[in-house]
């Protein structure tokens, strides 16, 4: 297996997992930057930013991305539904990450093949037309009074769970 040298450390390079993250109108560039770090750490293919979601180059994104915005592949779409349609046309199964009633708990979901995960706006969620275009829905079951967590924290759970399944 090839190695990657980053600064003063070498790590084994693994094949990228066929996962793409779609960010639908995220307001916080800091959350987006953190998701870039997660994309690198879980070694997925790409991030698709949509609408007013911050895209590189962006100073607040750069601060939390800590350099990953320089090498994690990013593509921008004006509308998330266009990203979803593009992914589906290229053989990806698209999962909306949402708290809707029909969503399957992340720990019960079985991922195979090429997967994409749509994460929505922190206050408004995923746009209705984008939800309608998704193949399936997953959720993180919350047990407190709120039914959701920070979008980048949610992305961490989803990406590591899905990447682990797809590598094994």
> What pLDDT does residue 3 have?
47
Residues 136, 95: contact at Cβ < 8 Å? yes
CA–CA dist 132, 130 (Å, integer) = 5
**pTM of the predicted model over 0.95:** no
Question: What residue ranges do the domains of the chain occupy?
Answer: 3-167
pLDDT single digits (tens) 93-105: 999 999 899 999 9
> What pLDDT does residue 9 have?
44
Residues 155, 119: contact at Cβ < 8 Å? yes
Domain 3-167 CATH class label = alpha beta
Residue 26 has pLDDT above 60, yes or no: yes
């Amino acid at each position: 297996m090839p190695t990657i040298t980053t600064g003063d450390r070498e790590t084994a390079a693994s094949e990228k997992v066929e996962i793409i993250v779609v960010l639908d109108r995220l307001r916080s560039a800091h959350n987006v930057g953190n998701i870039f770090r997660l994309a690198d750490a879980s070694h997925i293919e790409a991030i698709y930013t949509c609408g007013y979601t911050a895209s590189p180059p962006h100073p607040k994104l750069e601060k939390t991305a800590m350099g990953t915005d320089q090498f994690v592949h990013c593509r921008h779409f004006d509308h998330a539904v266009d990203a979803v349609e593009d992914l589906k046309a290229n053989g990806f199964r698209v999962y909306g990450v949402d708290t809707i009633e029909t969503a399957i708990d992340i720990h019960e979901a079985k991922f195979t093949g090429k997967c994409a995960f749509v994460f929505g706006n922190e206050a408004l969620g995923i746009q209705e037309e984008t939800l309608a275009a998704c193949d399936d829905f997953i959720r993180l079951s919350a047990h407190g009074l709120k039914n959701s967590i920070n979008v980048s924290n949610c992305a961490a759970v989803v990406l590591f769970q899905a990447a682990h399944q797809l590598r094994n």
